[in-house]
Structure 1
Amino acid sequence: MIKTNESKIFFDAARTGDLESLKKSLELGTDINMQDKKKRTAILLAAMNKHYDVVKYLADAGADINRQDQTCLNPFLFGCINGDLKLVRLMISAGANLNLVTRFGGVGITPASEKGHIEVVRELLTSTDINVNHTNYCGWTPLIEAIVLNNGDTRQQAIIKLLLENGADTELADQYGVTPIELARRKGYKEIEEILLEAGAE
């Protein structure tokens, strides 16, 4: 069992981006996939603090990039949620599992669509085979999230166009049977309604 102070040194090194201290900890036998009280791994802590060199080092050294903390976060999902394109690309290159879900049951493209992270959405749609029609625990697809959980502005409109161009199903309804176009109408998003109509929604 690793001593408490040794684990603290390891996690602190990941959190602060101290790559040399982190390397020394690993050389001393620290478990690269050790988790703290919140079940966060060193690679997640480094990712959360934008220490990309540490993230890449740990991934190359065999860290489990898919391991999730107590709130279901891992580096890939954290990057998608927070619009960190560099981190998302790092994780895609490292072979991130695209099917793991957030605490709300969405895959990476779900929160990225909801929060207006257009660059991340584009990256996921063009460089991965992530499921554009994945349904989360609320019965919502990324398309529905992009409509109902933001303000309908030009960024959201661009995301919706991207989703539709890459196979988003306009007829996949929410858990109450309400379709995306009806949800857009209820929100008063005329521009989004027009985009959906052009895509064949009824």
Structure 2
Amino acid sequence: MLEKEMIAAASAGNAAELRELIKRGATLDARDASGATALLVATHENRIDAARALIEAGADVNAKDKIEDSPYLYAGARGHLEILKLTLANGADLKSTNRYGGTALIPAAERGHVETVKTLIEAGVDVDHVNRLGWTALIEAIILGTGGEKHTEIVRLLIDAGANVNLADGEGVSPLSHARQRGYGRIEKLLTAAGAR
């Protein structure tokens, strides 16, 4: 019963109630029907105080649900920066991957979360990791991005972090070719200046 209360308190962002339930013996790894822990539920809702309370109590930032999301991976993918920083400070596995075989950096780059990308690069996530689709963070920022300000800045951050600008996708199409096909002139310039062919 306490476990259901934990999940509800996490979803509502009630940090005080979570601390009380933990004191009363609720287990930190209680899961809902989707396999999400209370910490992942709090992360879904971007409930920072609740996430902090759970992490301080020792909740596992790498515990995955049935679709391979963990608090760390989800916070990265959704740009929930404060929770991401908490997970990074508390044992986030930088090599862990989501259901697409991608690190937290790849969806963060795709979705245009500039500060999240910066944070993950600084944490040491592999900038050239290739997911099951054959895509890197650089390729996703181009082919699933908008070519606008945020995605251009993400491409710049990835290049500055040493991303391989010639690492092609699974079909052999280079980042530069993808940028040209989409008419992303500023991204094309950045890639060319970095030696992209």
- TM-score, L = length of structure 1: 0.92
Q: How many residues align?
A: 197
Matched, 1:173 2:168: yes
CA RMSD of aligned residues (A): 1.3
Q: Is the 8 A contact 2:105 2:120 kept in 1?
A: yes
* 2:20 matches 1:24: yes
Query: Structure 1: how far apart are the matches of 2:192 and 2:164?
Result: 12
Conserved? CA contact 2:76–2:108, under 8 Å: yes
CA contact (8 A) 2:138 2:155 kept: yes
> What residue in structure 1 maps to residue 35 of structure 2?
39
* Structure 1 outlier segments of 4+, above 6 Å: none
Matches within 5 A, 1:1-202: 5-126=1-122, 128-202=123-197
CA contact (8 A) 2:18 2:54 kept: no
Deviation at 1:17, TM superposition (A): 2.1
Matches of 1:84 and 1:20 in 2, distance apart? 21
Aligned to 1:150, the other structure's residue is in SS state coil
Residues 104-162 of structure 1 show CA distances to partners (whole Å, capped at 9, x for unaligned) of 11101100101100011111122x11100000010100000000001111211111011
- Distance (whole Å) between structure 2 residues aligned to residue 121 and residue 20 of structure 1: 31
Q: Which runs of 5+ in 2 are unaligned?
A: none
Gaps of 5+ in 1: none
Q: Quick one: distance in 2 between partners of 1:39 and 1:134?
A: 26
Letter in 1 for 2:101: G
Shift of 1:180: 0.7
| Displacement after TM superposition at 1:190 (Å) | 1.9
Aligned-partner Cα distance in 2 for 1:175–1:191: 24
Q: Percent identity?
A: 37
Q: In structure 2, what is the Cα distance between the partners aligned to 1:24 and 1:194? A: 55
Q: Deviations over 1:37-72 (max 9, x none)?
A: 100001111122222222122112121110011122
Answer with 14-23 or 135-144: which moved more. Answer: 14-23
CA separation in 2, counterparts of 1:98 and 1:51? 22
Matched to 1:25, the amino acid is L
Alpha-carbon distance in 2 for matches of 1:19, 1:141:
37
